[in-house]
Each structure stands twice: as structure tokens, then as C-alpha cells.
């Protein structure tokens, strides 16, 4: 999801998205540890997506758009 798309979501939707991504990251890390992860770039992409969500949440909290 791109930053512009994230900015259109409400704060509750963003927090829900962040929780879903955190759960997904946990599962991917577990798979990586067991050697079952086919594409290690998924870890990087999920971490970046979490950072985007947190950035947009912080912008909304501060009142920026």
C-alpha cells in the first residue's frame, strides 16, 4: 500500500493495519528461522510497510496532512 492510500485511512484502520502487519511479520520471522521462507524480501517489505503506517499515524496525531 502506498503512502497516499494510507493517508486516506482513519486512525483506527491504520492501527488495525499495523497490528495485521506485525502479526504477519512475526509469522514470517518464524518461517525464516525454520528455513521455510521462500522469499526473504517479504521481511523487508513488511518492515517498510509498518514504518509507513507508523509515519502516517504520527502525522495524523500531529495534525499534518
For 52, counting Cβ atoms within 10 Å of its Cβ (0-12 exposed, 13-18 middle, 19+ buried), the class is buried
Query: Using CA atoms, how far apart are residues 33 and 31, in angstroms rounded to an integer?
Result: 5
32 to 2, 3, 21, 39, 48: CA distances (angstroms): 26, 27, 16, 9, 17
State the CATH architecture for 3-59: Orthogonal Bundle (1.10)
Model pTM score: 0.88
Kindly report, residue by residue over 6-49, the tens digit of the pLDDT: 899 999 999 999 999 999 999 999 999 999 999 999 999 999 99
Q: Give yes or no for a contact between 49 and 3, defined as CB atoms under 8 angstroms apart.
A: no
Q: Does the structure show a pLDDT above 60 at 65?
A: no
Amino acid at each position: 500500500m502506498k503512502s497516499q492510500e494510507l493517508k486516506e485511512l482513519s486512525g483506527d484502520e491504520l492501527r488495525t493495519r499495523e497490528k495485521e502487519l506485525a502479526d504477519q511479520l512475526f509469522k514470517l520471522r518464524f518461517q525464516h528461522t525454520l528455513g521455510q521462507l521462500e522469499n526473504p524480501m517479504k521481511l523487508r517489505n513488511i518492515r517498510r510497510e509498518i514504518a509507513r503506517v507508523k509515519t502516517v499515524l504520527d502525522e495524523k496525531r500531529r495534525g499534518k496532512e
